[in-house]
Amino acid sequence: MLRSIAGLTAVCLSLLLTACASSGRTGAAPPPVQATATAVDSYKIGVDDIVQVSVWRNPELGITVPVRPDGMISVPLVGDVAAGGHTPAEVAKDIQLKLASFVRDPQVAVILTDLRSHEYLSRVRVTGAVRQPISIPYRPGMTVLDAVLAAGGVTEFAAGDRSELYRKSGEGTETYAVRLDKILNRGDLSTNFPVSPGDVITIPERTF
């Protein structure tokens, strides 16, 4: 009997602690900037980008090649396929349709392994009160801090907490506030957003 009561007490205590922990959590709002994975998925392949084509259960059909100046890549059995100006998913679908004449139920994956194109949308720009304003190739996983450090960091005249990230969205441009002083001096990474191809980061100077 005592064991049963003790067991019941332990279960109730466990449920109470779980409920308290759940009520103590606050639903953190997602950052206003889209995740990098989404940016890569929607990225349109450019000339010189390196793409990897894999065909499930047919490794001999896999290739890793750069996109030619004419925007094409050559795929075994299929021949030339248009890659430039298309997303990886679109290219995979095109290859899959063409391979269906040679392979039963082909499953194709196209992965960007190196972004080398110099088109506008494949670069991130940092301007304003930085040591060296730059335009750098976008890399998956890149953040605001990565881009600013690549520009040599901010100058002594920078108003870091008034920095902004600009991103083209549809017909307009979205703007996100970046608290760069807090990122650099306090380790507060709440506004250290992942960047996307085509982003522009601007750091203004202080007004005296």
124 with 145: CB under 8 angstroms?
no
Statement to judge: residues 108 and 124 lie in one domain: no
The CATH number for 71's domain is: 3.30.1950.10
Residue 58 near residue 103 (C-beta atoms within 8 A): yes
Per-residue pLDDT tens digits for 41-62: 678 888 888 999 999 999 999 9
Distance CA 34, CA 40 (A): 10
Residues 95 and 129 in one domain: no
Instruction: Give 132-142 pLDDT, tens digit per residue.
Output: 999 888 888 99
User: Does residue 23 surpass a pLDDT of 70?
Assistant: no
Q: How many domains does the chain have?
A: 2
Query: Within a domain: residue 13?
Result: no
Neighbour count for residue 3 (Cβ, 10 Å): 7
Query: What confidence tens digit (pLDDT) does each residue in 113-157 have?
Result: 887 765 555 789 999 999 999 988 888 899 999 999 999 999 999
CA atoms within 13 A on the CB side of 93: 5
**Average confidence score pLDDT of the chain:** 82
Provide DSSP, 9-31: HHHHHHHHHHHHHHHH---PPPP
Domain of 140 in residue numbering reads as: 120-203
